[in-house]
Amino acid sequence: MGVGSRAMFDRMLDAVNATGMEPVVDRVFDFEDAREAYRYVDRGEHRGKVAVGID
């Protein structure tokens, strides 16, 4: 599986900057709950990015 060329990435980044797009964060888990974060993603319950904090 490829991720595209550098030129494609640059065009995508230009579009993101021009439109002010921001990622949709569904949920942030504490580091101690990282296993639950993986289970949450595996269940397909998320509707955006799932993050694990490392504070």
Q: What is the pLDDT of residue 2?
A: 76
Return the structure tokens found at 27: 């949920």
Q: What is the pLDDT of residue 42?
A: 96
Residues in Cβ contact with 21 at an 8 Å cutoff, skipping those fewer than 6 apart: 15
Q: What is the pLDDT of residue 1?
A: 58
Mean pLDDT by 10 residues, the chain (55 residues): 87 94 94 97 93 91
Q: What is the pLDDT of residue 40?
A: 96
Residues 20, 13: contact at Cβ < 8 Å? Answer: no
> Rounded to whole angstroms, what are the CA distances from 13 to 8, 29, 31, 39?
9, 27, 29, 31
E strands present in the chain: 25-29, 49-52
Q: What is the pLDDT of residue 11?
A: 95
